[in-house]
A and B are shown apart, each in its own frame.
Chain A
């Protein structure tokens, strides 16, 4: 007798999606001129038409941000700025379910993740940073820290609202105003956030949201009226931005790609480790910059861990993101799916052994079954290049030193995982690893108080915590 879970869909009635959106500039929703469709990647249904911001729109946004900065925001006390951020946090909590449903429809991630992870963390980021607004002199960044001015912020499609909060909250807390561009395929929660700004009575122009594609992003990066660029996305684009701002006075922070090693020592707590491996690469469909995409198994436990991992993967529920029991949702776009398929095919060509549990994938929409490749070595492309999908490359190591060497043998340096029950070994490994975020006996844990960011080609700067404030204050960090 088997226990079939009946469909348990979250209600779509919670959200009202307009047929067409413009931009949010100077506290008002303004019409866009050109539009492109945004779809639900699980069904390929067109959800709405999103505006493509051109030069005039970006100029207007920067002017509004500058005006707000000069006339209101830079003159306002930290105490009062903070209270706006507290309001925003509270309204996000109130409208949490609405945001979660919208995020799932637009992004393809399971409703359980939007509801239990993305949205609560986003609200928490605002709550945390609200409290910094009037305490900047205590942050260890100078006795009288000053904001930079207008920040141009470009965010990715994998955690749309969460990435927005990671950018907007500290910028505003530090006294800056912002022009933010959400990702092309996931603009809807940013546009709903604009409504929250209105409900919070945030002064006009403090937050401006312009939607569009790469061309819009370039307009922001190159805009002379912007003092600071914050970007989260691919390493490739990050380098383009770094070159573009080099001759300017703009400060810049980048949060880029990764190919994190998830290192399992022979004294790891096996069942929790298997959970951590699954979480590390299949959470959010693997669309995570800090995903544990390289599993490094100590050779003497490799067989046991792989056996348990495969059994565990058979229980992963892939399907309708709006179903509360779904574990892995849709791939965000046709383009991303093509990339994943291509790199997985490379893995086959390189001679690695591919395995997926039996998975019934829906007919419409963009889907990829959770996949592991065993017999991978550092020389394989699938061990070096970021796939950004639910594909795990499995390697082995003999000694702790070898494990660390393999883990560090990458141009990336965003994150790493360590699985061991021995404290000294865990601390030793964390000391050796060249990564900005290290998870021991856990993975993919985020908190507003915990600084996040990478070494080497994974980016510049940190977000969250006291360290994350530096990105938005003058004279600290980057010149």
Chain B
């Protein structure tokens, strides 16, 4: 394992690497995010942003009450978000619990949605509180059922205790299970890490350990994907690319409820990591209600008047 040549896999090496990272000034980061939120995205730019955002949505259902019916309805929506308008792109992925993966994959394949990947949350999502063998089995099951993407959670308890090497090794182990069958997203649960310094540390820890994507939150804890947190993560992937020539993806999840929020995220990407990240291979948005707002805004741009929820489908 080379870890990009940045760490050697030992605790000492990792500790030293993480403590040498530049700190983040919270007020400054908040101010930068707030300034970027004033960008005014209109007309053709807005149309492009809406379609891009739709293609980036990881349409998600993660409820105890999920049933086959619910997951199938979501899948139909994912492939054709607007049944009356085939120009609307499919979403980026479907995101479900691992015992629903086979339901999702089967249904997607039966409705012409072969191009929509299924992502499974894993490693005792959302808490991450389980033994390593359980987490590995959790991941293996999901991949065997057809998941092409794994959204794992880090052990926040270990992180807050300073046991960074344990957090690191868990990611390495899960990445090994994923191998070349699935891409790995690593969820930080930034609301529990609290400080931007921790978010920056977690970003570099996860990337050197092998993450393909770094993700803000499970969506079960607030605050989730606030603009400054996403800014810090985008700065990290940008810096990482300069060091290694490898682009790691970013996925904000939770709290992105409407088109305005989504466009703010795209602006953050555009002016931080850069336009190379503005596609579903490198940027996803974990959301459920967002999709309908994107559709309504798309309708308004096309029709010239405000839409109503009656004209978009519930999933």
Direct contact of A and B (CB under 8 A): yes
Please indicate the chain B residues that have their CB under 8 angstroms from the CB of A315 in the complex.
Answer: 271
Please indicate the chain B residues that have their CB under 8 angstroms from the CB of A8 in the complex.
Answer: 40-42
Please indicate the chain A residues that have their CB under 8 angstroms from the CB of B225 in the complex.
Answer: none
CB distance from B222 to the nearest CB of A (A): 25
Q: A112 at the A/B interface (Cβ < 8 Å)? A: yes
Q: Which of A6, A275, A325 contacts B31 (CB 8 A)?
A: A275
**In the complex, what residue of chain B is closest to A115 when comparing beta carbons?**
B38
Please indicate the chain B residues that have their CB under 8 angstroms from the CB of A2 in the complex.
Answer: 275, 278
Q: Are B25 and A441 in contact (CB under 8 A)?
A: yes
Q: Which of B25, B38, B44, B267 contacts A272 (CB 8 A)?
A: B25
How many Å lie between the Cα of A268 and that of B266 in the bound state? Answer: 28
Q: Which of B38, B48, B275, B278 contacts A116 (CB 8 A)?
A: B38
Q: Which of A1, A7, A268, A441 contacts B27 (CB 8 A)?
A: A441
What are some 27 contacts across the A-B interface (CB < 8 A)?
A: A1-B275, A2-B275, A3-B45, A3-B52, A3-B270, A3-B275, A3-B278, A4-B48, A5-B40, A5-B41, A6-B41, A6-B43, A7-B42, A8-B40, A8-B41, A8-B42, A267-B23, A269-B22, A269-B25, A270-B22, A272-B24, A272-B25, A272-B29, A273-B28, A275-B31, A324-B39, A421-B23
Q: A378 at the A/B interface (Cβ < 8 Å)? A: no
How many Å lie between the Cα of A325 and that of B38 in the bound state? Answer: 8
How many Å lie between the Cα of A421 and that of B270 in the bound state? Answer: 28
How many Å lie between the Cα of A270 and that of B271 in the bound state? Answer: 17
How many Å lie between the Cα of A254 and that of B313 in the bound state? Answer: 65
How many Å lie between the Cα of A6 and that of B301 in the bound state? Answer: 14
Number of interface residues of A (CB under 8 A): 25
Q: Which of A275, A324, A325 contacts B28 (CB 8 A)?
A: A275
Q: Are A271 and B22 in contact (CB under 8 A)?
A: yes
Q: Are A271 and B235 in contact (CB under 8 A)?
A: yes
Report A's interface with B, CB cutoff 8 A. 1-8, 112, 116, 267-273, 275-276, 315, 324-325, 421, 441-442
Residue among A116, A267, A275 with max Cβ neighbours from chain B (10 Å): A275
CB distance from A9 to the nearest CB of B (A): 9
Report B's interface with A, CB cutoff 8 A. 22-25, 27-29, 31-32, 38-46, 48-49, 52, 235, 266-267, 270-271, 275, 278-279
Q: Are A1 and B25 in contact (CB under 8 A)?
A: no
Q: Closest 8 A-B residue pairs measured CB to CB?
A: A272-B28, A8-B40, A324-B40, A6-B45, A272-B25, A269-B25, A270-B22, A2-B275
Q: Which of A6, A116, A270 contacts B44 (CB 8 A)?
A: A6
CB distance from A248 to the nearest CB of B (A): 45
Q: Are B38 and A112 in contact (CB under 8 A)?
A: yes
Please indicate the chain A residues that have their CB under 8 angstroms from the CB of B271 in the complex.
Answer: 315
Please indicate the chain A residues that have their CB under 8 angstroms from the CB of B235 in the complex.
Answer: 271
How many Å lie between the Cα of A270 and that of B235 in the bound state? Answer: 11
How many Å lie between the Cα of A7 and that of B46 in the bound state? Answer: 11
Q: Are B275 and A271 in contact (CB under 8 A)?
A: no
CB distance from B212 to the nearest CB of A (A): 20
How many Å lie between the Cα of A6 and that of B46 in the bound state? Answer: 8
CB distance from A279 to the nearest CB of B (A): 9
CB distance from B268 to the nearest CB of A (A): 11
How many Å lie between the Cα of A3 and that of B45 in the bound state? Answer: 7
CB distance from A33 to the nearest CB of B (A): 43
